[in-house]
Structure 1
C-alpha cells in the first residue's frame, strides 16, 4: 500500500559500521510508520543513542496488514529500517507505550520477530524486551511480557541502562543477573522481582518485592534542567507524509493546571521551561538540517509558556521571509490573544483547536478546567475577527457527575460559537465556516483524582452520542465521536493488573491487532478472549474503587501523592476548583520526589 514505510535511507537517518558496534537497540513503535515517525520521544532518543559510538539505535514499526501478510508468506521476520537485520538478533527491543490500544501490536511484533512473547520463556541470547512512555506508569498489563520498564524521562536513564549492559556483557554474566543489575538504576522496574497477591474478590491484596535490594516503590525519572537536556540538532525527513510532518520544538515539560481527568498533567510534573534563546538556537539548527517549512511549538499547554509572545515574535521575525510557518497545537481557551493569532497566521493560516472539555460551567468546575464560556467566545471571536473560519472544539462525555444538561451544554456551546462567527461583518469573515465538535469518551486513568471512578457504560455513552447527533444538525456544524467500545477496552488496560497479559495474548491469537484503527478493531474477539481467560472486563471499567483499595500501580511513584489525589477527588464532587499551581503551590508532592525539591 505504501512502500515508503519500509525502505529506510531517509535524510538524516543514521548508518554505522557494525564492526564498531557493541550494543544494538531496536526502537519499536507499535503502529505504522506515519504514526511512529511523528513521535517526539523517538526523534530524541534515536539520535541520543546514535551519538554514542558503540551503540546503534535502529527504527522498527508495525508493518501494515498487507506487508505482514507478505512477510509471513515469505518467512521474513521483523527487521529494522536501517540495516534490514532481524531484530531478534539485537541486544534490546524497546517499545514506547503511547496508547493502551497498541498493546496487541506489541504481541504481534514479537511474534513476527521470532522473539518469545512471555519474558519467562526468553533464554540466554534473546534480546531484552524493554518499554517506557506514559502508559508504562501502569506497567502491570504487560508485566508478563516486558522484561523491564523505564519510568519517567529517558535521556539520562537510557544511557545509565546502556552503561550497566556494557558491564554485564563484558563480565559474561547470565540473563537474570542483568535484570538484577539494571533494577538498581533509578526508575527501572523489573516485574519478575515483584509478587502480587489477590483477595478473593479479585482485588489486589499486596504488591511486594520478592528479593532483597529491590525498591518497594519505583520512582520516575525527571530531567531537572531542560536547557541542558539533550535535544537533537537534526531530525529524519521521511519520504512519505506522516501525521506530524514538521519540526517539533519542545518548549517545556509538565503542566500546572491540574485538570482532574488528565493523566499527562499529573505524570509529567513539574513544569520546566527552555529559554527563548535556547529554543531559537534549536529551531535554527533543525530548519537548516531538515528543510522543513513549519515549526510546531510542542508542550502539554503551549499557551502557558511564560515567554510565548516573545518566542513567537523572535521566530516569526527570523523565518517569515522564508515562508516558514508556526503552529501552536495545544492552546488553552484562556491563553489566546488577538496579537498571538495575528503573528501565527503571517505565513499560513491553519485551523484552531480548543478544548472546553465539558458543556456547562458546573461540570468544568468538577474537572477543574478553570475556563469559562466567556473565555471560549472571546478566543474564537478573536480568531473569527482575523479571518479564521475553521475551529475545532474538543469535549468529553461520561465525565464523573455528568447529567444530560451537561451533554446539552455541548450543543449549546457549538451554536454560540457559530453565532459568534456570524457577528463578524460579512466583508471581513473568512469563507466557509466549519465548527467541528468532537466528543471522546472519558477513560479513568491512573494517578488522577478520578482513578477511583467507574467508567460510564457503553450503552449510556451511545445514548449521549445519539442525543448530540440529533441536536447538532445546523449548517456549519460537524459532529465527530469516538467509539465507546474502543474506550471501554482502553479503560480495561488503563487500570488493569498483570492478569491481563494472558487476555492480551489470547486476543492476539484470535486475530486482534491494530486496535486503534476502526477497520481492524474487533470488540467481539476481545470479549471472547476475556471469556476464554475467565476474567470479567467490567471488573476493570464500571466498578467504583474504594480509597483503601490497592491499585495495580501502587508500587510506582510519579511524585504526586495519594493524599493530594484524594483531596482533589473530594473537591471535584463538591464542584470546587483548585488554582493553577504556578500562582501558589497546591501541595501535590512533586517537589519531594527528589532530594532538595525541583518544583
Structure 2
C-alpha cells in the first residue's frame, strides 16, 4: 500500500472478507452525511451473494457533483438489469470523511450494500475532468487497493476508466488497468461477459485477463503498449507489445440513442443538477474548433418529440420532479426542439418547468426559452465565446454581432432582466482588441437592457481560460501563460467595472494544470501519482488546489509544464493520443487548424457533410456524404440538384 499522506494513517483491510460497513462511528462530525448513507429513492440494492459479477461505478468527485453525471446513471441502470450482475456507487469522500475513514481504519465502501470497494470484481471510474485524477489515486488507496497498476495482486479488482478523459489516457496509464473508449453503454456488457467467463473458469494470472480485455473493441490496456520519445521530448512512436493489443484503438459509439432512463436515483440532498433530465440528442454539428466535446461525441443522434414525451411521462411519475432539463451539447440545435417543447407543454401544461442547459446565440433560442418558461424568468445565458467577429470566424463559432444583440433585445422584451455571457480568453490568434471587444459587446447588451427594463437590467460576463484539448482542431495550439492572461483579465476587470457589468474569471494556475493533464503523456502520469503522494486532491476545488504541490511533483519527475502547455505544435508532430481513434480524422482536424489562421468558418454539418472521418462509420453521416457526392456530380454535369426527402 502507498505511504500515508499528510500524516493520516492509511486505510487498511485486515480480513479477506470485511462485513457491511457500520456507518455510525464514521459519520460523527462529518458534513452532509447523506453523501455516504445510500438508500435514496430508486436506488437499487441487489443481494450481494446472488451476483456473479459486481461492479463499483465511481465518480472521482464529491457526491453532490457525481450524482449529476448522466453516464454513470445509465450504466448503473443497465448493469443492475443484467442477470447475475450488480452495480453500486461510490464517490470521493470529502476531506472530513476521508479523515474519519483513515482514523477508524475503515476502507472506502459502496453506497448500496456498503461493501469495501476491494471486494468488487471491477471498479469503473468516470473521467470527465482532468483535475479529478488525484482523487482516483486517493480513492484506490482508501479502498486498500494498490494505486499503481503494476503492483496489484492477481485477485485485486480490475480498475477501469471511461468517459471523455479516457480518450487521453496516458496521464493515468500507471494507475488504470483498462480504459473503455467511447460510449460505455455500447461496450459495458461485453466487458462484463469477459469478467464472468474468466471468473467462472477459475481465474488465473491477471495479465491473461487483461489480455482478454484488450481484445474487446474499444478496450485499451496500457501495459501492452510502449512509448519512445525524440531527443526534444516529443513522441517518436508507440509500439504494441502483444498481439491482443490493437493499433489504433477505436472508440465505440452507438448508431442510435439508448433508451431514456426513466427511473433515476433521487438524492436526499441538493446536487449540481437537481432536476429530471432527458438527453434529447447526442453529438454536435457546429464544429467549434476549441470544443473537444463537439468532436468526440459525434455523430449526431436525435430523439423524436414522441419519444421525449413518453419518457418524460414515466420519468416525472417515478421521481416527483416538477422540472425537466432537455440535455445536449446545444439543445436548441435539435431539428425538432420547438416540437419537443410544444409536445411537453401539451402533455404537462405550464406546471412543468423546462430548462435548456445549452442554447445557441440567436433570437430563436429566446423564443424556445420563452416556451420553456412562460412565467418563471430566470437568467438567460448565451455563449458568444469571443469578443470580435474576426476571432469568432477564426474559431468557427457561427455567431454574428447582430445575432447576439437581437437575441438580447428579444430576451429583455420577453421578461428577462438578467443575461449571462460566456467568453473564452486566450484563444488562438486573440489580440487585446478582441478582449476589449468582450467589454464593448457586453456593454451594448447592458444598454439594450436599460432601454427595455430600466435599472433592473443586469449583465454578467464570465470568462474561462482557453485550454487546448486533444482530438480537437486546437490540439496544435499553445496555451496562454499566466503572465499573458493577467493583462487580459485586468482589462476585463477595469472595463466591466466601468460599464457596471458583473465579471468572473478562472485562476490561470488551475488552467495550466488542466493544460498539462489534457495533453499529457505517460511521463506526466508519474507526476500525477507523485502529486497525490504529496497531498494533492480535489484540485478542481480552489480551496484545496495547491500549485506548490504540483510544482514539486513536476520537478521531481522532470515534467516541464511549458513543454505541454505553452508551445505551438508542429503540424506533423506525433501526439500521446495518436493511438486512439476518436472517430474524427487527423486530416480533418489538421484542415480545421489551418483554416483558423485564414479566419475561415466551416458550415454546420447539418448543411452538408464535411468529411470529418465518420462518413463511413455512422449511418446518418454516410447518407449525408452520398448526398454531397450526388450534388457535386450534378453540378459538374449541369444537371438539376438532387432533392433529398
State the shift of 1:214 in Å. 2.2
How far apart are the structure 2 equivalents of 1:304 and 1:264? 15
Matched residue, 1:532: 556
2:261 counterpart (220, 228, 232): 232
Conserved 8 A contact 2:211-2:244: no
Question: What residue is the counterpart of 2:172 in the other structure?
Answer: 142
Q: Does 1:489 align with 2:513?
A: yes
| 3-state SS, counterpart of residue 440 of structure 1 | strand
Q: Is the 8 A contact 1:443 1:487 kept in 2?
A: yes
Residue 47 of structure 1, aligned match among 63, 71, 77? 77
Give per-residue Cα distances to partners, 1:295-319, cap 9 Å, x unaligned.
Answer: 0000001011000001001112222
Partner of 2:520: helix, strand, or coil? coil
Over residues 180-223 of structure 1, what are the superposed CA-to-partner deviations in whole Å (9 max), with x where a residue is unaligned?
11111111111111111111211111012111242110111111
- Is it true that 1:307 corresponds to 2:336 in the alignment? yes
CA deviation string 1:30-72 (max 9, x = no partner): 1100000011111111111111121111110001011111111
Give the direction of change, closer, same or farther, for the CA distance of 1:425–1:557 in structure 2 (3 Å limit). closer
- Mean alpha-carbon deviation: is it higher for 533-542 or for 128-137? 533-542
Alpha-carbon distance change, 247 to 84 in structure 1, aligned in 2, over 3 angstroms: same
- How much does 1:347 deviate? 4.9
Task: Report the equivalent of 1:209.
Answer: 240
Of the three residues 398, 406, 412, the one matched with 2:426 is: 398
How many equivalent residue pairs? 592
2:249 paired residue among 198, 208, 218: 218
Q: Does 1:20 align with 2:50?
A: yes
Find the aligned partners of 2:574 and 2:599 in 1 and give their Cα distance: 27
What secondary structure is seen at the aligned counterpart in 2 of 1:207? strand
Answer yes or no: is 1:447 the counterpart of 2:471: yes
Question: Which of 346, 349, 358 is the matching residue for 1:330?
Answer: 358
* Corresponding residue number in structure 1 for 2:182: 152
Helix, strand or coil: the match of 1:591?
Answer: coil
Counterpart contact for 2:356–2:369, Cα < 8 Å = no
CA contact (8 A) 1:27 1:95 kept: yes
Query: 1:256 touches 1:580 (CA, 8 Å); kept in 2?
Result: yes
Aligned partner of 2:389 among 361, 364, 371:
361
Query: Distance between the aligned counterparts of 1:341 and 1:24, measured in 2?
Result: 43
1:478 pairs with 2:502: yes
Of 168, 172, 177, the residue aligned with 2:208 is 177
Distance 1:18 1:524 in 2: 44
Task: Give unpaired runs (5+ residues) of structure 1.
Answer: none
Q: How does 1:252-401 map to 2 (within 5 A)?
A: 252-321=281-350, 323-334=351-362, 336-401=364-429
Which string of whole-angstrom CA distances, capped at 9 and with x for unpartnered residues, describes residues 343-401 of structure 1?
A: 11225222111100000000000000010111011111111001101111100001101
- Determine helix, strand or coil for the equivalent of 1:435: strand
2:592 pairs with 1:568: yes
Deviations 1:323-357 (A, max 9, x none): 22000110000363553232112252221111000
1:519 to 543, 554, 558: 543
Report deviation, 1:594. Answer: 6.2
Shift in Å, 1:425: 5.8
Q: Secondary structure of 1:85's match?
A: coil
Q: Is the 8 A contact 1:138 1:553 kept in 2?
A: yes
Displacement of 1:477: 1.6
Which range moves more in the overlay, 402-411 or 173-182? Answer: 173-182
How far apart, in 1, do the equivalents of 2:293 and 2:277 lie?
18
Deviation at 1:463, TM superposition (A): 1.8
Contact 1:316–1:325 (CA under 8 A) maintained in structure 2: no
- The alpha-carbon distance between structure 1 residues 93 and 318, as it changes in their structure 2 partners (threshold 3 A), is same
Evaluate the alpha carbon distance shift between residue 255 and residue 113 of structure 1 in structure 2; reply closer, same or farther with a 3 A threshold: same
Q: Is the 8 A contact 1:325 1:347 kept in 2?
A: no
Whole-angstrom CA distance in 2 between matches of 1:25 and 1:291: 28
1:248 counterpart residue number: 277
How much is the aligned-residue C-alpha RMSD, in angstroms? 1.4
What secondary structure does 1:159 align onto? helix
Deviations 1:440-475 (A, max 9, x none): 001110011111111011111122111110111147
Deviation at 1:538, TM superposition (A): 1.1
Displacement, 1:286?
0.5
**Which residues of 2 match residues 78-117 of structure 1 at below 5 A?**
78-117=108-147
TM-score (normalizing by structure 1): 0.97
Q: Is the 8 A contact 2:377 2:415 kept in 1?
A: no
Determine whether 1:198 maps to 2:229.
yes
Q: How far apart, in 2, do the equivalents of 1:479 and 1:432 lie?
A: 17
